[in-house]
Amino acid sequence: MRLNMPKSTSRQAQKGQAILEFSLIAFSLALMFAGAFTVGAMLNKALQVSNVTRSAAVLMVTAITNPKADLNLVLPQNQRILIREASGLGMASDAQYDPSPTGNGAIFLSKIILVGDNECAAGVSPIPTGVPPWSTATCANYNTYVFAYYVAIGNNTRWASAFGTPPSGSVQSDGTISAVNIATDTHVQIPSTTMTPIITLAQSKYALISETYADVASIAVFGIYRPPVIYYRTIT
Amino acid sequence: MSRIAKIVKKDPKRRGFIILTHALMLFVTIAMIGLAVDAGTMYVIKGRLSSAVDAAALAAGRSVNLGSTVAAASVAATTTATQFFNANFPNGYLGTGTMNLSPPTFTQETDSNGNPTGYLDIAVNASVPAPTYFMQIFGIRNVNVSGTGTATRRGTVMILVLDISTSMNSGSPTACSQMKAAAQQFITNFSPYDTIGVVEFTFTADVLYPPSTNFGNGTLNTALGNINCTNNTNTTSGLWLAYEQIKSVGLPLAYNSIVLFTDGSPNGISANFPVRTQADTRYGQDYTQGICTSTGTPCAMPVICSGAASQTVRGTIPQGAGQTNTGGTSGLYQPINTDPAISYPAACNSSASGAYIRQMVAYIPDFDVYGNSTHGVPATSTPPNCPGATCGVANVTLKSTGATYYYDTRDFWEFQANNLCSSPSGSAVAPCSARGNNQPGGGVWSSFPGGSGSNFFTAGPYVGYMRPDQPTTIVAATMNTAMSESYWIRADSSGCGGSGGNGTVCPTLYHPVINTIYLLGNATDAADHEFLSIMSNTQQIIALPYDNPGYVPYTNPAYQQHQESGLYQVTASPSQLTVLFGKLADEVLRLSH
């Protein structure tokens, strides 16, 4: 089949006409592709943040429940596992994927427990006369939500855990809170008004919480749309 | 007229060609971009859903101990799973519709032969309609996104081994009643997917409650409540029987654990005792009381067994009243209640039993009925007090084989007459604190400090053999066999199938853990610093409640790094037993689940 092109049009005129028409649609195309890119990049970052958060949760479970793993997530060399997975989120300070305290993201790992009889038994010594039953008089954190583990990775000056921050003096070098502090240190408490809207635990039951913040402003295109900070949380 | 206008004017047929093409392509472009955006959104929703069902499955696994029956546990697990799911997947997340979350399902894992392994698989399914944004153009308003979360829960097989000897009747309320209450509270921490059994022991051990997953229906609670504390302390038989229960359950991947509760040193040795066919001088009375009339003085004991010296009689000899050579012994008793009745050799006068058993039995052999050495367990380090009066580690030469072993042993210890670490209030009393304070090893024990003398015959036809006529020696031998039984339980020769036993080295199958709770000061007969730590295989020998703050923990001289370690707890107050059992429950649940 032969294409029936207008013969009277000069090549220059065709070119000009194409430019004209393309310029008319270019703006909408640019908008469309910028939007698509931003949304796509956002989804990509969101998935990455999601994966990092879940990986952090898995590592935390290993660190907390398996002493033989000897996994101390306070150590930067172990934190690199997560920072490497977060590659592209701006959380690394160097090529070795050490976490940056001023970077574009932060990860918070927490174990929160509702203190019950067993925690008081483990943390209060000598055992007071008349116990059991336990009460706040004999075990200050009895029936209260407390941190039992806390590790902050990355820029923890810009962001903080949604559940609060235990005093550094209450957290041991491996991120754990001692049995004594779990039972008696009121500074590691978490207000029930913070916990109960999210989840309610039975006594002696715990939740492992992994939170990730990531500032993804760098993926904004032409300044049209500034993406928010991505926050992702898993409660295991 | 501008240049553009001229061009347009020159070629009116070309006007709108690209726009028209673009308009046509726009539909395709939007569809493609929309597909990408919608698919990406669904991928995010799917990721969140997967995370939520994973968390729900794990939470369900942790919550099955909140119900005492399978039905109650399922309700509790479903409630908790829903909570954790909702915490991770908020209602209406990214415009999703009504959630469909199925209750958790529980399935016992099996091996290739169909045998249960001890692991419980928990699965949670959820689905949610995810909205579309661009695909609605094509009439697709939502897409169903589903996820399945699975978790594995390691089951617990736990055998409580309870000391129900007479000493447990001390105090008011009695230690026995407080132990029963603590055990009843303890079992409420476990789920109907765990297996719990109870072995009790006096001078005979028996299965009070066979291992079962139905313990939560009240039967175990009743059985514990019906315990009656009486008689002596055959700890070794109790441990052996508990290990047999673990093997009978047969869940190699479960957390297989023995929880030993005792209030003092064991005092019942079970062996195939050689009968005494030769005359010698020893403590005790003859059954006619015609020649040896007093227990306080060594006496030329008449022989009542004729025939070959190789004859033996099987049973348990407990130490009776008193710890010194003047105290009593009795027997023979069945080590396990299902053992055959005691059969005395025809060549012996069976009247020489009970209080006169010392007349019939020649000596304590080098191994008990379970194959345990009556001289202790292999030592792996030397305590800081060695050599010394309370050193528990020494070279031991077996009379039967001539072989010498470096053992943590009680062979050279004697229990003091005034061993009274007994103070119901928990405060130290003079004899105990004076003798035991801050002393590594022996504590209330020491080596031949003016007591009865050697635990071995030093003269006569049985020279070099352990004496059966001294109550303190029976206690020492029983402590040795109890430590040895613990060693072989932890070594677990089950990897050889049915051919393994104490003394056989095979790959472990059940990885048994021995946890111990020691009630010190309930009566007399206190154990030393190391005894229960060695049984639990802890790394350190910690202080006892009566020790001063200056006590310095030291390395367990019989620590076995390739065997499982358990939790060792000690208290001087029966009222604290519930707390100690609670702490143990916390530890077990943490490790097993």
Higher pLDDT residue, B530 or B385? B530
For residue range B198-214, list pLDDT tens digits in order. 999 999 999 999 999 99
**In this complex, how many residue pairs, one in chain A and one in chain B, have their CB atoms less than 8 Å apart?**
122
- Measure CA B374 to chain center: 23
- Lowest-confidence region among A97-106, A117-126, B276-285, B447-456: B447-456
**Cα separations in angstroms, B372 against A157, B209, B237, B379, B428:** 61, 26, 11, 15, 34
Average pLDDT rounded to a whole number, residues B293-312: 90
**Which of B55-91 are b and which e, b meaning 16 or more Cβ less than 10 Å from the residue's Cβ?**
bbbbbbbbbbbbbbebeebbebbbbbbbbbbbbbbee
Q: What is the CATH number of domain B156-266+481-592?
A: 3.40.50.410
DSSP string of B137-160?
GGT--EEEEEEEEEEEEE-EEEEE
Q: Of the candidates A16, A22, A39, which has its C-beta nearest B7's C-beta?
A: A16
**Strands across the sheet containing B255-262:** B205-212, B195-201, B156-163, B255-262, B513-519, B568-571
Chain A residue closest in CA terms to B30: A32
CA distance B185 to chain A (A): 11
Count of structural domains, chain A: 1
B177 vs B163: CA distance, rounded Å: 12
B236 vs B41: CA distance, rounded Å: 64
Mutate to test the interface with A, among B1, B6, B18, B589 (most CBs of A within 10 A): B18
Asked whether the beta carbons of B471 and B523 are under 8 A apart, the reply is no
The pLDDT value recorded for residue B178 is 92
Bridge partners for A212 per DSSP: A107, A232
The pLDDT value recorded for residue A224 is 58
Q: Is 80 exceeded by the pLDDT of residue B236?
A: yes
Strand blocks (E) in A74-228: 105-114, 145-154, 189-190, 206-215
Q: Does B66 contact A202 at a Cβ distance shorter than 8 Å?
A: yes
H helix runs in B457-512, sequence order: 471-491
For residue range A126-152, list pLDDT tens digits in order. 778 777 789 999 999 999 999 999 999
The pLDDT value recorded for residue B420 is 41
Pick from B439, B395, B412: nearest CA to B529:
B439
Asked whether the beta carbons of B342 and B253 are under 8 A apart, the reply is no
The pLDDT value recorded for residue B427 is 41
3-state helix, strand, coil in chain B (%, to 5): 35, 20, 45
Whether A2 is covered by a domain: the verdict is no
* CATH 3.40.50.410-classified regions of chain B: 156-266+481-592
Whether A19 is covered by a domain: the verdict is yes
Q: Does B63 contact A205 at a Cβ distance shorter than 8 Å?
A: yes
The pLDDT value recorded for residue B493 is 85
Calculate ∠ Cα B548-B549-B555, nearest 5°: 95
pTM value? 0.80
Burial of A49 (0-12, 13-18, 19+ CB in 10 A): buried
Chain A residue closest in CA terms to B45: A47
Whether A1 is covered by a domain: the verdict is no
For residue range B537-585, list pLDDT tens digits in order. 999 998 887 777 777 889 999 999 999 999 999 988 888 898 899 889 8
Q: Of the candidates B4, B13, B582, which has its C-beta nearest A6's C-beta?
A: B13
Which domain covers residue A36, as residue numbers?
12-235
Q: Does B11 contact A47 at a Cβ distance shorter than 8 Å?
A: no
Give contacts of A53 with chain B, Cβ < 8 Å: 51
Q: Which two tokens stand for residue B363?
A: 């000596």
For residue range A43-54, list pLDDT tens digits in order. 888 889 989 998
